[in-house]
Every structure is written in structure tokens, then in C-alpha cells.
Amino acid sequence: MKQFKLQGLLLTATILFSINTLTSQTAEEIIDGYLEVIGGVEAIQNVEGVIINASANQGGLELPIEIVSSKNRSSITISIQGQELKDGVFDGEVLWSSGFPDFKPVKSDEEDVINFKNEIQEFPDVFVTYKDLGYTAEFDGTDDFEGTEVYKIKMTKTPYLIDGEENPNIDYYLFDMDNYVLLAVWSEMLEGPGKGAVIQQSFSDYQEVEGVYYPFSLTFGAKGQPGGQTFVVQSMEINPELDDSDFKFPEEESQE
């Protein structure tokens, strides 16, 4: 009887190991397919910085937006009726944004800086950097996204800090089953008035820029709800020269 139980346990362990291996391989295959279809790992790794010029329609008003991204610097600039609203400006150490309605620069607290530093390290693509960052990616079955059958990858990231406590930080990535193109990301809001809601980022109109394909249309909104805010990309510059002074916190303006 003991031998039978031992054989049964060994068989169960073997099956579980096989399932885990298959799941890992499936996730890896999907990720590899995605990276290949958008240009390949080498081309993506050659991207050290990006400047994106885009626009968004807000209540009939077209708002120009500039997004600068790299591994240790970033900024978002929105032009609103002759004024510039800054958000997520980071120089490698200090994170700041424009206050509203006075547009004066305001520094973020230490916890926000830690969370932001973790996120910015995903550049140039989370599926290139996730292993080095200690993230895990798992195949989470298939799903339906706006009528398209998709593979779903569950990615567990560095915990998100809120009031000194670590919170699970998990995103779900949806890939077209026919061609591995990334169609959307589902993320749970971890704080604020919308805490617990699932935010959907969807991507379309992929275009090639210096050997890598990027979505030129991005829509953000609540999962399962109509509408959302769409951003349309007009141009992208790869590996631009970035001036450190553009990311520094303007001490004088904050004291005015």
C-alpha cells in the first residue's frame, strides 16, 4: 500500500511538473512571438529613448501631447490653451508634476518615486526586461477582446507601495491569437477614488519606426465600459538627444 501511494505521489508530481513546464513554455512562446512580430529583441534593445508627439480630443478641444521616455528620465507635456501642463517628469531621482489650477511644479512623495522608479525600469519593453526585473509571466488561458480571440499573459511585477505596505501588482496582457500582436492590457487601480476598478489600455494602428512597430492609437478607459480617452500618435523620434535640464525640478517656479 505504501509503495502504491508513493507511486501515485510520484505520478502526480510528474504531471504537475509537466503542466508547469508546458505553461511556462506557452507563455514564453507567446512572448517570443510578440517580440519577433514587432521587430525583434535586438532592435528593441537598441532603443534608448523615445519622443512621442500625439494628440487627444477633450470635449472638442484638440490637445497636443509630448511624451518623453527612457530608462531613467521621462516627462509628459500637455499644451492647454497656451499653457504647458507637466506630468510624470523624472530626472532619475526627483519626480514632479504641474499643480492644478495654478500649474506650479509640485514634487511627488518618496513612495511615489519608488513606485515610479520600478515602473520606468521596464523601458524599452516590459517583455524584454521583465526577467531582469524579477517579474514572472504566466500563461493565463484565452479570452475574448472585442470579438477577437486572445492569449492572456498574467505578469506579476514588483509590489506597489501604498502607505508603506506592499500590494500585489499584476497586469494582464492580451495578444491576438493569429499574429501575437499586443491588443490590450488590463490593470487594477490600487488606490484613489477608482480603487478596485480595472483599467483597460488598448492598442491599434501599429506602424514601423526605425525597425520597431509601435501602436499609433492608444485608448484608456474602464474595462467593459464604452468610451475612453484615445491618444493618436503623429510622430515618434527614436534615440533623441535629451537635455538633462528639461527634467530638473524648477525650484524658483515652485517658490513663486
User: Does the residue 181 lie in any domain?
Assistant: yes
Pick from 127, 125, 116: which is nearest to 74 by CA? Answer: 116
DSSP 3-state of 17: helix
Interval 218-248: pLDDT, tens: 999 999 888 899 999 999 999 999 999 999 9
Helix extents (H) in the chain = 2-37, 41-45, 110-120, 126-129, 251-255
Give residue 175's identity as a one-letter amino acid code: F
User: Does the residue 20 lie in any domain?
Assistant: yes
pLDDT of residue 190: 92
User: Does the residue 230 lie in any domain?
Assistant: yes
User: Does the residue 250 lie in any domain?
Assistant: no
Domain that holds residue 115: 2-78+110-240
Q: Is 113 within 8 Å of 95 (Cβ atoms)?
A: yes
pLDDT of residue 192: 86
Low-confidence residues of the chain: pLDDT under 70: 1-25, 252-256
Total domains present in the chain: 1
pTM of the model: 0.87
User: Does the residue 102 lie in any domain?
Assistant: no
User: Does the residue 256 lie in any domain?
Assistant: no
pLDDT of residue 237: 99
Whichever domain contains 34, its CATH number is 2.50.20
Cβ neighbours for 14, distance < 8 A, ≥ 6 positions apart: none
pLDDT of residue 95: 98
pLDDT of residue 1: 44
User: Does the residue 125 lie in any domain?
Assistant: yes
pLDDT of residue 254: 61
User: Does the residue 229 lie in any domain?
Assistant: yes
